[in-house]
């Protein structure tokens, strides 16, 4: 008898819960937009969004990512990571190959795959819109004229034109890699990243070259911002020079939705 009463009571509770109306959005509220802040030691407004391993101390977890705000438009912000969050080749093979463009680069796949899933929660990813990324041909005899298809990406690398437009001057373009990026370089290349810098002037020794998505001097190449802050391009002469390992900085760029 007691068992029958208990079952009846449980059924009544379940029916009541099933009829309960919850207000819209009660189950999951949208993540608030990140706050844009100012700091005297930075040349740009900045914001904190997402997290990724940076100090190479795995025990304390990933660190918040700092982003430089390059532009605000229509309720969105175009941002660029303050540091190079990885040191890697733009593509696993560096060779004369017309099929190798931003569309097919390994670094593009990494940004929109492993990095996206690691650095941002599902709620944060909802604030990163998928945008059309154009990579215009550079109209100069020194550069390849292989067309690059537009892509649909959440994360991307800056083009040469964007780097020139938003980062005015070599000092502003200079960038340093994180300790985690440096450790990744050592693991990949079997040598300390610091050995790459020994011949540089002291004021540049912490800086790295970093990749742009624009094509360079031959099909399959790219452009970079070098450790001094100048924008340069890869020529055929780089292919046979052992001085270049093409393990340069990755500075993710993206748009962030700032609407409430």
- Going from N- to C-terminal start, the domains of the chain cover 43-257
- 61, 115, 216, 231 from 141: Cα distances, Å: 48, 35, 11, 17
The neighbour count for residue 204, using CB atoms within 10 Å, is: 14
φ/ψ of residue 189, rounded to 5? -100, -15
Residue given tokens 């649909």 in the structure block: 152
Model confidence at 29, in pLDDT bands (50, 70, 90)? confident
Distance CA 216, CA 152 (A): 22
**Confidence check: pLDDT of 17 > 50:** no
As a whole number of angstroms, the distance between CA 244 and CA 92 comes to: 14
Structural contact between residues 155 and 128, judged by C-beta atoms closer than 8 angstroms? yes
Query: What confidence tens digit (pLDDT) does each residue in 186-214 have?
Result: 999 998 888 777 677 878 889 999 999 99
Contacts of 147 (CB under 8 A, 6+ apart): 137
pLDDT at 236: 85
Average of per-residue pLDDT across 7-34: 57
% of the chain with per-residue pLDDT over 90: 73
What local confidence, expressed as pLDDT, does residue 28 receive? 65
Average pLDDT rounded to a whole number, residues 148-170: 97
pLDDT of residue 126: 98
């Amino acid at each position: 008898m007691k068992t029958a009463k208990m079952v009846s009571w449980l059924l009544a509770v379940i029916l009541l819960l099933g009829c309960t109306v919850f207000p819209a959005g009660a189950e999951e509220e949208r993540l608030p937009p990140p706050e844009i802040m100012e700091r005297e030691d930075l040349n740009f407004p900045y914001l904190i969004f997402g997290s990724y391993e940076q100090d190479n101390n795995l025990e304390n977890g990933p660190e918040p990512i700092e982003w430089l705000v390059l532009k605000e438009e229509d309720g969105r912000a175009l941002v660029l990571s303050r540091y190079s969050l990885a040191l890697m080749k733009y593509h696993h093979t560096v060779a004369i190959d017309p099929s190798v463009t931003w569309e097919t680069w390994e670094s593009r796949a990494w940004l929109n795959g492993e990095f996206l899933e690691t650095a941002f929660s599902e709620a944060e990813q909802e604030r990163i819109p998928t945008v059309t990324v154009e990579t215009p041909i550079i109209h100069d005899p020194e550069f390849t004229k292989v067309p690059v298809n537009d892509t649909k990406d959440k994360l991307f690398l800056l083009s040469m034109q964007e780097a020139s437009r938003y980062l005015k001057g070599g000092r502003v373009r200079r960038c340093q890699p994180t300790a985690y990026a440096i450790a990744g370089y050592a693991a990949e290349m079997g040598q300390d990243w610091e050995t790459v810098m020994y011949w540089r002037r002291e004021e540049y020794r912490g800086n790295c070259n970093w990749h742009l998505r624009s094509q360079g001097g031959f099909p399959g190449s790219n452009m970079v911002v070098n450790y001094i802050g100048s924008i340069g391009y890869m020529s055929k002469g780089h292919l046979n020079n052992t001085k270049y390992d093409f393990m340069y900085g990755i500075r993710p760029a993206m748009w962030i939705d700032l609407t409430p």
